[in-house]
Amino acid sequence: MQSSRKKISKKISNQRAVSKYGADILDSVGHKKCTEYIQHGNTSIRQHTASVACLAVAMARKTPFKYDYQALVRGALLHDYFLYDWHKPHHGLHGYAHASIALHNAAEDFAVSPIEADIIKKHMWPLNLNPPKYRESFIITLADKVCSIKEIFGKPIYNKKIEEILNEYQ
Ligand SMILES: [Fe+2]
Ligand SMILES: [Fe+2]
CA of 148 to the centre of ligand 2 (A): 7
Residue 6 bridge partners (DSSP): 67
**Is the model's pLDDT at 91 over the cut of 70?**
no
- CB atoms within 5 A of ion ligand 1 belong to 80
CA of 65 to the centre of ligand 1 (A): 25
Ligand nearest to the CA of 94: 1
**Is the model's pLDDT at 90 over the cut of 70?**
no
Percent of the chain with pLDDT over 90: 86
Structural domains in the chain, CATH included, are 13-167 (1.10.3210)
Q: What is the structure's pLDDT at 95? A: 87
Q: What is the structure's pLDDT at 87? A: 86
Quick: pLDDT tens for 102-123.
999 999 999 999 999 999 999 9
Q: What is the structure's pLDDT at 3? A: 66
Quick: pLDDT tens for 137-168.
999 999 999 999 999 999 999 999 999 999 99
Q: Which residues, including other chains, have CB under 8 Å from residue 33's CB and lie 6 or more apart?
A: 83
38's enclosing H/E stretch is: strand 38-40
Give, in order, the Cα–Cα distances in Å from 70 to each of 12, 35, 53, 57, 135: 14, 22, 10, 10, 13
**Is the model's pLDDT at 2 over the cut of 70?**
no
Quick: pLDDT tens for 47-68.
999 999 999 999 999 999 999 9
Q: What is the structure's pLDDT at 89? A: 73
Count of CB atoms within 10 A of residue 3's CB?
6
Count of CB atoms within 10 A of residue 82's CB?
23
Give, in order, the Cα–Cα distances in Å from 94 to each of 21, 145, 170: 28, 16, 28
Give, in order, the Cα–Cα distances in Å from 12 to each of 21, 35, 80: 12, 26, 26
What is d(CA 113, CA 132) in angstroms, rounded to the nearest whole number?
Answer: 15
Specify the higher pLDDT residue, 23 or 92.
23
Tell me the pTM: 0.96
